[in-house]
Amino acid sequence: MIETVLFDIDGTLLVTGGAGAVAWQRAFRELHGVDADIEEHTHAGMTDPEIAVIVFREVIGRDGSEAERAAAIAGYLSHLEDAVEESSGYRVMPGIEALLPELAARGVLLGLVTGNIEAAAQIKLARADLNRFFAFGGYGSDSSDRTELTRRALERGGTVAGSPLDPAAAIAVGDTPRDVKAGHGAGIRVVGVATGSYTVEQLREAGADWALADVTAHFPA
């Protein structure tokens, strides 16, 4: 019996149609006068703090200071809401809008496990009104290490539930090999969904316990 499900956001719950990249680009243009196309320099599954470090290094040509990276993230957040609302490519992944209320009605505890910093996660979810399903999560603002932020999500889920979660009854859902590795590193099973940049076969090869085309295909919970 699955009692807890942790969902990744980008490529798993939804896609923003490039809104995140637009927000990063606007922030770096505003702060440093450069065009930063993060899609040229980053990979799916990276955390927001990792993205800030890489853009400084590969676009600006130096390591940004802690204060500069903080300013870049603040700039990104200041532009993200508009970028999400403007995006014509924003869409919720197949089956998600039916699955979330079904799981909630069955008493399954729902959480997030995402490389987005918490504020960015809420902005991305808000357009589709999906934040109402998630009482807790682990975020890129907790750690740049996805395994660690998955552990944080499980700890917070235990706080919400009133007792520690049983790892054997918890699963994570993600669309990248990084999600699979993080879930296993935190001691839980992982559903890989091929709704992002990776195929079912690639997710299976990465070690996903279930590798599905999308959540409508025999979701284990």
pLDDT in tens, 72-87: 999 999 999 999 999 9
C-alpha distance from residue 183 to each of 51, 92, 146 (Å): 21, 23, 8
Q: Give CA angle at 23 (11, 79), nearest 5°.
A: 120
Q: What percent of the chain has pLDDT over 70?
A: 97
Asked if 188 and 171 count as a contact pair (C-beta separation under 8 A), the reply is yes
What are the φ/ψ torsions at residue 217 (nearest 5 degrees)?
A: -95, 85
Q: Report which of 88, 32, 100 is spatially closest to residue 62, judged by C-alpha positions.
A: 32
Where in the sequence is the domain holding 144, given as residue range(s)? 4-16+90-212
- Distance between CA atoms of 135 and 93, rounded to whole angstroms? 20
- In a domain, residue 221? The reply is no
Which amino acid does the sequence have at 43?
H
- In a domain, residue 196? The reply is yes
Select from 86, 103, 125 the last residue of a domain: 86
Q: 145: which 2 tokens?
A: 């290490």
- Distance between CA atoms of 47 and 105, rounded to whole angstroms? 31
- Distance between CA atoms of 76 and 98, rounded to whole angstroms? 31
- In a domain, residue 220? The reply is no
Q: 192: which 2 tokens?
A: 């890989």
- Whether 184 has a pLDDT exceeding 70, the answer reads yes
- In a domain, residue 97? The reply is yes
Select from 70, 86, 102 the last residue of a domain: 86
Domain CATH number, residue 97: 3.40.50.1000
pLDDT digit string (tens) for 124-138?
A: 999 999 999 999 999
Average pLDDT, the chain: 93
Are both 23 and 12 inside the same structural domain? no
- In the chain, how many domains are there? 2
Which amino acid does the sequence have at 181?
K
Domain CATH number, residue 35: 1.10.150
The arithmetic mean of pLDDT across residues 2-28, rounded, is 95
DSSP state of 63: P
Alpha-carbon 109 to chain mean position: 17
Q: Which one is predicted more confidently, 61 or 2?
A: 2
Helix (H) / strand (E) element for 202: namely: helix 200-205
- In a domain, residue 219? The reply is no
Select from 29, 55, 86 the last residue of a domain: 86
- Whether 55 has a pLDDT exceeding 90, the answer reads no
- Distance between CA atoms of 146 and 43, rounded to whole angstroms? 14
Are both 72 and 105 inside the same structural domain? no
Asked if 186 and 138 count as a contact pair (C-beta separation under 8 A), the reply is no
Are both 100 and 160 inside the same structural domain? yes
DSSP state of 143: -
pLDDT digit string (tens) for 101-118?
A: 999 999 999 999 999 999
